[in-house]
Amino acid sequence: MMNDIPSLWLKHRQAGWPRNAGPKEGELMTLDAVIGGCVTYYLESEDGLDPTRADMLEDCMADLTGLMPDLIEEAAEYFERLHTLGRLLLEANRH
């Protein structure tokens, strides 16, 4: 599982922001930045996420899950990948 996170993170970073993220673009940008920050911290840390970051990530994932049904098709792949990254990170951090 840990091996999936770096490759998926690289793919996500290379994808670039969707041209049209829809009416909730500001919220999505914030979630992208926070979840991305957690991924970066996790990959650079030997101890995984600290409890504060893990809680923050769980909150962001709940927010992202709530926004996903309203995503326009153009943005869906980008945020589905971000959601997968967050889920993998939470799973890896629990072990």
| pTM as predicted | 0.92
Reported confidence tier of residue 46, pLDDT bands at 50, 70, 90: confident
Residue 93 CB partners (closer than 8 Å, separation 6+):
42, 48, 49, 54
* Tokens of residue 37, six digits: 């920050």
pLDDT tens by residue, 53-85: 999 999 999 999 999 998 988 899 999 999 999
- Backbone φ and ψ for 3, nearest 5 degrees, come out as -70, -25
Q: How far apart are CA 63 and CA 74, in angstroms?
A: 19
Query: How is the chain split into domains, by residue range?
Result: 4-12+32-94
Reported confidence tier of residue 2, pLDDT bands at 50, 70, 90: low
Reported confidence tier of residue 51, pLDDT bands at 50, 70, 90: very high
